[in-house]
Amino acid sequence: MAFVFKPVVTSSAGGRKLRRRGRFYWACYTDENGRAWRVPLKLPSGGGITDRAVAQAELRRRLRLMERRAVGLLDPAVESAKLPLRVALARFARYLRGRRRSPKHVRQTIRRVKWLGEHGDIACLGALNSAATERALRVLSGRGRAPKTLNDYRAALFGLCAWAVKVERLIPANPLESVPVQETAGDVRKRRRAFAADEAARLLWAAGPRRLWYETALFTGLRCGELAALRWGDVLLSGKAPSIELRPEATKARRADSIPLRAELAEKLRAARPALGLPTDPVFRTTPTRATFRRDCDRAGVRWEADAQGRSLDRHALRVTFVTWLSRAGVAPRTAQMLARHTDIRLTMRNYTDPGLLDARGAVERLPELPAVSSADVQTARATGTDGPNSVVLPVVLDSCPSLQNGARACAESANATAAQGRTDALLNAKVRGPARPEKSGGGGNRTRVPKHFNLGLYVRSRRI
């Protein structure tokens, strides 16, 4: 059973509830899978339908398409090409919310895709191609937007196309694969600098009731959204190692993180915690706005406008200050990356470290000094032979002890006899087994010939000490 109707809308006026029929028509029908639908009927432009005859014609069109789809008379690719972009965008937004994307991300994606659709004349999925997208991006670039902004708009539409290809199977391929990504290295519009220590102290002095918010941002590197989502249950103040345990839904990367707290900051948070507060209560009731931050900087005598290098101060500069102070304190880059909760160390070192506050001259002065060298030192350091300057060959002294000399001569004669017997056996084996394979010489030590005046033909091993 299928029919059109105007739903009942309830409103209140003068303390009374009023029930009236809505302005636009809806449709109620059952699809080929037995699922009941109650959906608003829309015109191709996206507006609602107020005429009953038009609403019934739209319902008949839907039922006819549903029956043809059920028996396989429709090509899904052809039908998907007629799908309005606004409908696909609404379904994509529901998909993003189901993937637990932040509300801000969903809003920005919808806004960017709508803008590209309007300026690229993309009314349906069939009109979505690389040429239309590049045309809209050229309009955006003509308005002076940075390359990063262009890439953000492209990424929003690219995500919609990827969803249409891989999830819904609405289009066969992603048409934005051929749209190039803009190079952002040489055109950075927003550059931030870090607070100096005296500037941060003056800001905390002038902040008043917002002092704890600024101090927490300075010494933890938390973002504004993360501070707004911080709950007292996330702040572990008991024990010897106080920390903040961030919930996945409260972080930008949707990842649980742990941030250690300074002892001084932990004491201030412990003093600010309400005695009867619940773990679900927010730590900070309000977040300073951009205008409030600038007023606090003006009262503290801190310049927040862009300097000669184009660097300015805002609330996110508190996070830049946190990472810069870590580098200035001599913290290892890998540790700074972990505390900043970045997945790429290049982002930590390049975008969140202000080189203006680093002690470059002091680092150069801490380089080791070279010792004075004389010609005698050079002669001593020169190596002769194969052992190098640190090897010592232990001498073999045989002249001073006749018994040792006789013993050495006997050993030499025995060794010569053994060698001769070995050569004879080798010749006999060679005749039977063929040519013998060369044996690998053993390792260990270098051989040094005994001086000739011993006339013994002995070899002794030198020991490296």
Higher pLDDT, 465 or 33: 33
User: What is the reported pLDDT for 238?
Assistant: 87
User: What is the reported pLDDT for 227?
Assistant: 95
- CA–CA separation, 83 vs 124, rounded Å? 5
Q: Decide: 51 and 42 in contact? Cβ < 8 Å.
A: no
Stretch (H or E) spanning 449: strand 447-449
| Mean pLDDT score, 330-334 | 92
Helices 333-340 and 317-328: angle between axes, nearest 10 degrees: 160
- The SS3 call for residue 151 is helix
Q: Quote the longest CA-to-CA distance of the chain.
A: 131
User: What is the reported pLDDT for 386?
Assistant: 46
Per-residue pLDDT of 287-327, as tens digits, reads: 999 999 999 999 999 999 999 888 999 999 999 999 999 99
Burial category of 124 from C-beta neighbours within 10 Å (exposed 0-12, middle 13-18, buried 19 and up): middle
User: What is the reported pLDDT for 406?
Assistant: 54
Q: pLDDT > 70: what percent of the chain?
A: 82
Q: Smallest Cα–Cα separation from 194: which of 355, 396, 367, 413?
A: 355
* Residue 416: pLDDT band with limits 50, 70, 90: low
Q: Per-residue pLDDT for 141 more than 70?
A: yes
Q: Per-residue pLDDT for 399 more than 80?
A: no
Burial category of 64 from C-beta neighbours within 10 Å (exposed 0-12, middle 13-18, buried 19 and up): exposed
Higher pLDDT, 99 or 416: 99
Q: Smallest Cα–Cα separation from 126: which of 87, 156, 92?
A: 87
Higher pLDDT, 293 or 101: 293
* Residue 262: pLDDT band with limits 50, 70, 90: very high
Q: Per-residue pLDDT for 455 more than 50?
A: no
Q: Extract the tokens encoding 263.
A: 């002892």
Q: Which residues contact 22 (CB under 8 A, 6 or more apart)?
A: 6, 7, 8, 9
Q: Per-residue pLDDT for 392 more than 70?
A: no
Q: Decide: 352 and 320 in contact? Cβ < 8 Å.
A: yes
User: What is the reported pLDDT for 417?
Assistant: 59
- CA–CA separation, 126 vs 171, rounded Å? 9
Higher pLDDT, 327 or 459: 327
Q: Extract the tokens encoding 346.
A: 């290049």
Q: Extract the tokens encoding 347.
A: 């982002």
Burial category of 227 from C-beta neighbours within 10 Å (exposed 0-12, middle 13-18, buried 19 and up): buried
- CA–CA separation, 329 vs 323, rounded Å? 10
Q: Per-residue pLDDT for 223 more than 90?
A: yes
Mean pLDDT score of the chain: 83
| Mean pLDDT score, 213-224 | 95
- The SS3 call for residue 437 is coil
Q: Smallest Cα–Cα separation from 76: which of 172, 158, 157, 166?
A: 172
User: How many C-beta neighbours within 10 Å does residue 26 have?
Assistant: 19
DSSP string spanning 208-254?
A: GGGHHHHHHHHHH---HHHHHT-BGGGEE-SSSS-EEEE-GGGSTTS
User: What is the reported pLDDT for 464?
Assistant: 44
Determine the distance from the C-alpha atom of residue 204 to the mean position of all C-alpha atoms in its chain, rounded to a whole number. Answer: 31
User: What is the reported pLDDT for 325?
Assistant: 94
* Residues in a beta bridge with 48: 42
User: How many C-beta neighbours within 10 Å does residue 33 have?
Assistant: 7
How far are the Cα atoms of 160, 193, 197, 295 from residue 307, in angstroms, in the given order?
Answer: 39, 9, 18, 18
Per-residue pLDDT of 171-199, as tens digits, reads: 888 999 999 999 887 667 788 999 999 99
**b/e for 269-295, b at 16 or more Cβ within 10 A?**
beeeeeeeeeeeeebbeeebeeeebbe
Give the total residue count for the chain: 465
- CA–CA separation, 111 vs 117, rounded Å? 10
